[in-house]
Chains A and B, each alone.
Chain A
Amino acid sequence: MADTVPRLRTAGYNLYYGSFRALRDITIDIPENSITAIIGPSGCGKSTFLRSFNRMNELIPGVTVTGKVLLDGEDIFRADVVALRRKVGMVFQRPNPFPKSIFDNVSYGPRIHGTRDRGVLASIVERSLRDAALWDEVKDDQQKSALALSGGQQQRLCIARALAVEPEVILMDEPASALDPVATMRIEELMQSLKQRYTIVIVTHNMQQAARVSDFTAFMMTDGFRAGNLVEFGATKQIFTTPADSRTEDYISGRFG
């Protein structure tokens, strides 16, 4: 890991929902152009941690944080949140395309950020749909409602929509948990092709998936106070073959969780 640059970094990071501490003292360096998987039992704070990188937790009343979160060395809490979210895109657990056409879904971000020219938008939409491996299936009918697509197609559309604003980082919260195995496989292949250009952080409850797709794995678990801790972080191969912490070993061998 020493030869790669950390794109995302947290240091002594804590998050509270009101008085409940959901994340305790998390310090991690996430390298660029790689896939980092966050695994752990449900309720250990994986989603909360992921949503820290694009400040989505701020939308929830009563959330407070302490510690640092850095993107390319810059404190994200000092940055403009709109600019931050342009750089750090997100794909959600349930496919959530807007009830608009395929074209309008993908062009939504660029339009918000000021691109008006129809031709420019069309080329952004094409590039994003190609990158999301959806172009061939929808190119002839981009005016069709996104809600008419299958679940797997909808999720790839959501990936295309995130790609259209040219982010540096893509956060994915269990992006395949609502999909069938074939659609899941397509999303996993897609992630492999995207990691050349993007830093991907994926939350998954599926350890096989983490082992298959990721370069690095972070294992989280709750401590005695139900706060989420980072137990171990390292190369995926190492985590799954020679974990340093016995709790990691117990978890990946299916002894709990």
Chain B
Amino acid sequence: MKPSRNGRVTARKAWQGCAFALFWLSGIAAMAVMLAVVGYVVVRGAPELSLSFFTTSPRGGLSGDGGIASTIVATAYLVVMTMAFAAPLGIGAGIYLVEYAGNSRNRIATTFLKLSRFGSETLAGVPSIIFGLFGYALFVTAMHFGFSLLSASLAGACLILPVVVRTAEEALKAVPEGYREASLSLGATRWETIRKVVLPSALPGLTTGIILGVGRILSETAVFYVTLGGSYRTPTSVLSSGRTMALHVYYLAMETRAFEKAMATGAVLVILIIIVNLAINAVSRRLSAGSRS
């Protein structure tokens, strides 16, 4: 009896050892792939990086001469404009879903609630080019905004709205019910309660959603390919065409001989995205630190 039980224990330990080794290996492999991609881009792009790379605009043409100044500007405009549409809309929808529809007996409201949850979950899995085509059909063509920052930011807002709504919902749900009860019991209205108590304490979570959206806009190409056009000039108005950094990488790689420049632009983009993710971590750390105290 005893030896066999010991034998089983040994076998179980061996299995556990194998499993750990496998997990460890797959962990290492995943890390290695990531590092290889980032490292390759940075190493190949690095020789091109210089101050003038950031301060001059692309010159167009097959050679791919010039830097990325105008694409930085276009990216910045696009991020700001997209967020200007998506943030109020997404946070507003989150407020509606959590603070109003969530405890409503109204049939229409609850149906809408379920539909929009389902919708935002489904939309998150739809290939982004679909959003691009939608944006092209609606904003570029039907509304005559052309290939422009306006079309692109509206299409971009559609793209990131689900994620902004979702994170806003989560952030608002995480606000303790006791805060709302306390405020209402003091004679505050629902809206006063939302404005003065709920939103301030949901702020870190809401910010996380917005930064996630920014990251998405930085890395998106398909949507902007068909809505922003591809002008390498610095945009001068909301109806200007333009080129985000991610799009610029695409154009350089596909239409010029300047593969190294594509890598350099990619490197800048990768570093930017790493910074955005660090910001998300910092904000959510603050969030959890806040809820602990």
Contact = CB atoms under 8 A, between A and B. Distances in A.
A85 B181 contact: no
A82, A99, A147, most chain B CB atoms within 10 A = A99
Contacts of B183: 98, 108
B3 interface: no
Nearest to B176: A96
B204 to A, nearest CB: 11
Interface stretch (A37-45, A59-67, A219-227): A59-67
A76 interface: no
Interface residues on B, range: 20 to 34
A222 B56 CA distance: 80
Nearest to A80: B187
Interface stretch (A158-166, A182-190, A238-246): A158-166
Interface stretch (A87-95, A117-125, A208-216): A87-95
A118 to B, nearest CB: 17
Interface stretch (B188-196, B223-231, B261-269): B188-196
Nearest to B104: A61
A113 interface: yes
Contact of B178 (A82, A92, A108, A165): A92
A145 B184 CA distance: 21
B4 interface: no
Contact of A59 (B179, B184, B293): B184
B61 interface: no
A96 B188 contact: no
Given A59-B103, A99-B201, A147-B293, A113 B187 contact: yes
B181 A165 contact: no
B182 A161 contact: yes
Contact of B187 (A59, A86, A100, A158): A86
Interface in B150-197: 176, 178-179, 181-189, 192, 196-197
Given A82-B189, A99-B201, A165-B187, A112 B178 contact: no
Nearest to A164: B186
Interface in A105-158: 108-109, 112-113, 145, 147-148, 158
A5 interface: no
Nearest to B188: A112
Contacts of A109: 186-188
Contacts of A98: 179, 182-183, 197, 201
B290 interface: yes
Contact of B105 (A62, A112, A165): A62
A interface, how many residues as a size bin?
Answer: 20 to 34
A182 to B, nearest CB: 22
Nearest to B190: A59
A56 interface: yes
Interface string B215-252: 00000000000000000000000000000000000000
A11 interface: no
A153 to B, nearest CB: 14
Interface in B242-282: none
Nearest to B192: A112
A230 B192 CA distance: 36
Given A61-B104, A112-B196, A147-B293, A162 B181 contact: no
A89 B103 contact: no
A83 interface: yes
Contacts of A59: 103, 181, 184
Contacts of A92: 178, 181-182, 185
Contacts of A48: none
Given A61-B105, A94-B178, A99 B186 contact: no
Nearest to B175: A99
Contact of A82 (B105, B187, B197): B187
B86 to A, nearest CB: 27
A54 interface: yes
Contact of A161 (B103, B178, B181, B186): B186
Nearest to B180: A59
A1 to B, nearest CB: 28
Contacts of A100: 200
15 contacts: A54-B185, A56-B185, A59-B181, A62-B105, A85-B185, A86-B187, A96-B179, A96-B181, A98-B197, A98-B201, A99-B179, A108-B188, A148-B293, A161-B182, A162-B185
Given A54-B185, A56-B185, 19 more contacts: A56-B181, A56-B184, A60-B103, A82-B187, A83-B187, A85-B184, A85-B185, A86-B186, A89-B185, A92-B181, A96-B178, A96-B179, A97-B182, A98-B183, A99-B290, A112-B187, A112-B192, A147-B293, A158-B182
Closest 9 CB pairs of A and B: A96-B178, A90-B185, A109-B186, A85-B187, A86-B187, A82-B187, A96-B182, A112-B188, A61-B103
